[in-house]
Amino acid sequence: MAFLEIRNLSKSFGPVDVLRDISLEIEKGGFLVLVGPSGCGKSTLLNTIAGLESITKGEIHIAGRDIAGEPPSKRDIAMVFQSYALYPNMTVEQNIGFGMEIRGVPKDERDKAIGEVAEMLQIAHLLKRKPSQLSGGQRQRVAMGRALVRDPQVFLFDEPLSNLDAKLRVDMRTEIKRLHQRMGATIVYVTHDQIEAMTLATKIAVLKDGYLQQFGTPREIYNQPANIFVADFMGSPSMNLIPARIEEWDGALAIAMKTSSGEIRIAAPTRIGALKARAGGEVIFGIRPEALTDPEGADHTGKQVEKADCLIDVLEPAGSDTFAITQLGGKEVIARMRADASVEPGQIVPLAFNLDKAVFFDPATEQRLV
Amino acid sequence: MSASSPDIAVRHNILSRLLIHVALAVFAIYYLLPLYVMLVNSLKPLDEIRAGGMLSLPQTWTAAPWLSAWSTAQIGVEATGLRPYFVNSILMVIPAVTISTLLGALNGYVLTKWRFRGDTVIFGLMLLACFIPFQIVLIPMARVLGILGLAGTTWGLVMVHVVYGLGFTTLFFRNYYEAFPTELVRAAQIDGATFFQIFRRILLPSSGPIIVVTVIWQFTNIWNDFLFGASFADFDSIPMTVALNNLVSSSTGVKEYNVHFAGAILAALPTLVVYVVSGRYFVRGLMAGAVKG
């Protein structure tokens, strides 16, 4: 049985439904990331796990115990807040020890626990300082220290890195991952940054407007997005979503896409059964930029790589790669080429479509075709 | 041209600064003049005042009017000076300020961090209390004090001032706590702190500036109040303001202006002290917040 389990959870503020029938679970030591655009309900979901918000319907279990009715302090959780929420009137030491002090842990035991955590997070030299005397990264560590010292069943992180500058954010991300691997803690982590989600998670839950869009491993979410929203949200640059038509062509199926001057056709992947029924109909053809590249740079282990000539509008050299932009199906499409690919803007060049990585969506329901 | 224009600018600047300073000095003198008159005349014998020359310094300096105003002047039927009434005022103002400030802080805490259905309505009603003129409540309040058995006592006055001050203190604290990060309260909840532990350990220690503002406001208002003191106080609970009035407006005997001046200054002294002492903390509190960012 899962360690943290959320069953059919719903939450409404008056007439407004914030979360609708959400079911999730994560095993012990798992890293669950809740991701979505702002206002999707991810922070509310985290707050319901913390007990800071009540739920309207459903159940929350931690280690087999239903905690939905318990106050936050009885749930055996610890939380790191976006603003760190360090008590401004207390020193670092008092901040970390406050929870233990409230629970009546003796002073010497408290000091020992604070010392261990401070050692682990390398903040031992800051213990006597007030939060206002710390830098952003140091505050972040103190906030984590306050959570770690509790040794809870589940850690909750509410966008903990969003107040840090870009470089520090990447460092802290690595540090959180390292901490997770070392301690084997169970973590629920909220972010709107899909790269954070991909790098940290063992399981990702993508939310939008209070609905769970998809729940799966990072690889599943990335390679088999359940619908157009997930496909578009995860990945940077995001997946190309090209309006296309499925046609019968020489007894097989082909994908036909409008270009700026005419039309190109490439053979459709045979592994997706649902395409046969779609012959003659419209689909959304989804292909990630790294699966659309110059033929020399294409994945040679790919089972089905199709080539087609496309007009390159714009080139964006990014150092490690060069992004080429073309028009397909009336949309801008990004191809990710090798950095030294010999392409000029305005040229017509062959592009390789790695159809092993391609996905198709129903334009009406926006769901992925399988 | 490029050499001369900065010179003109500097000269222009000095001239305008001079004008500003002169204007400021004139106003300062204008406002300080009454205090000066009170001070010099409170240190003169009565004969000198009668001889005229309100603005001149005393020819013979004397502390007798101050001593008289403090301990021997005739007020009402007894020659006690202002001392017992000063004590009455202190006994009234300290609990009244403390209780109304604490309750205001508690109200502000509940109204911002423990929201409930109808909280804005309650706050609106409390705010309305700030706008009710004192005179309207005199008779109902007298009735309530009578029922509670507090009529004519210092505690009765304390209650009146607490009830009246609550609207303002709640307003001050609510607006201050509105900007106080709710995540701190949530973090403390997860740490297991109770309602009052959060209030005492997290909110109150960060409330320095607003406590000072509230204390100054409440202290000044309650100390200076005349109407409630004149209406609800008995012989042994008359506050300073009412006693001063009795001293100054007594219609028997010689008008001892020097004693009256000394008494008036004595009556104003505590509010002055509160301003001077806590005003500095207030500014310091604001500065600290600004630097922390």
Q: Is B202 on the interface with A (CB under 8 A)?
A: yes
Between chains, do A85 and B186 touch, taking CB under 8 Å as contact? Answer: yes
SS3 B1: coil
- CA A211 to chain B, closest CA, distance in angstroms equals 25
pLDDT digits (tens, 9 = 90+) for A14-28: 888 999 999 999 999
- Chain A residues lying within 8 Å of B193, measured CB to CB: 73, 98, 102
pLDDT confidence of residue B289: 44
Mean of the per-residue pLDDT values of chain B: 87
pLDDT confidence of residue A285: 94
Strand order in the sheet with A65-66: A16-26, A4-13, A57-62, A65-66
Smallest Cβ–Cβ distance between B187 and the set A81, A89, A132 belongs to A81
Smallest Cβ–Cβ distance between A87 and the set B184, B192, B292 belongs to B184
pLDDT digits (tens, 9 = 90+) for B24-63: 999 999 999 999 999 999 998 888 888 887 888 888 888 8
pLDDT digits (tens, 9 = 90+) for B259-293: 889 999 999 999 888 888 887 776 665 554 444 33
Between chains, do B188 and A146 touch, taking CB under 8 Å as contact? Answer: no
pLDDT digits (tens, 9 = 90+) for B155-208: 999 999 999 999 999 999 998 998 888 889 999 999 989 999 999 999 998 888
Reported confidence tier of residue B80, pLDDT bands at 50, 70, 90: confident
Between chains, do A87 and B189 touch, taking CB under 8 Å as contact? Answer: no
Q: Does A193 score more than 70 pLDDT?
A: yes
Query: What are phi and psi for residue A369, nearest 5 degrees?
Result: -90, 135
Smallest Cβ–Cβ distance between B197 and the set A51, A102, A146 belongs to A102
Q: Does A97 score more than 50 pLDDT?
A: yes
Name the pairing type of β-strands A186-191 and A31-35: parallel
d(CA A311, CA A328): 9
Query: What are phi and psi for residue B84, nearest 5 degrees?
Result: -60, -30
Q: Is B181 on the interface with A (CB under 8 A)?
A: yes
Tell me how far the alpha carbon of residue A218 is from its chain's centroid.
7
What does pTM read for this prediction?
0.79
Task: Please give the ipTM for the structure prediction.
Answer: 0.80
Q: Percent of chain B having pLDDT more than 90? A: 45
Q: Is A87 on the interface with B (CB under 8 A)?
A: yes
Which residue in A47, A49, A76, A79 has the most chain B C-beta atoms within 10 A of its own C-beta, making it the best mutation to test that interface? Answer: A79
pLDDT confidence of residue B290: 41
Reported confidence tier of residue B209, pLDDT bands at 50, 70, 90: confident
pLDDT digits (tens, 9 = 90+) for A325-370: 999 999 999 999 998 888 889 989 999 999 999 999 999 999 998 8
Half-sphere exposure of A70 (CA within 13 A, CB side): 17
Reported confidence tier of residue B1, pLDDT bands at 50, 70, 90: very low
- CA B191 to chain A, closest CA, distance in angstroms equals 4
- Chain B residues lying within 8 Å of A83, measured CB to CB: 181, 183
Q: Is B47 on the interface with A (CB under 8 A)?
A: no
Search chain B and give the residue with CA nearest A132: B292
- Chain B residues lying within 8 Å of A73, measured CB to CB: 189-193
d(CA A261, CA A144): 56
Smallest Cβ–Cβ distance between A102 and the set B184, B191, B292 belongs to B191
- CA A153 to chain B, closest CA, distance in angstroms equals 13
Between chains, do A87 and B201 touch, taking CB under 8 Å as contact? Answer: yes
Q: Is B287 on the interface with A (CB under 8 A)?
A: no
Which residue in A81, A110, A134 has the most chain B C-beta atoms within 10 A of its own C-beta, making it the best mutation to test that interface? Answer: A81
- Chain A residues lying within 8 Å of B205, measured CB to CB: 89
Distances B177 to A222, B167, B285 between C-alpha atoms, Å? 44, 15, 15
Between chains, do B183 and A78 touch, taking CB under 8 Å as contact? Answer: no
- CA A366 to chain B, closest CA, distance in angstroms equals 38
Smallest Cβ–Cβ distance between B183 and the set A71, A77, A83 belongs to A83
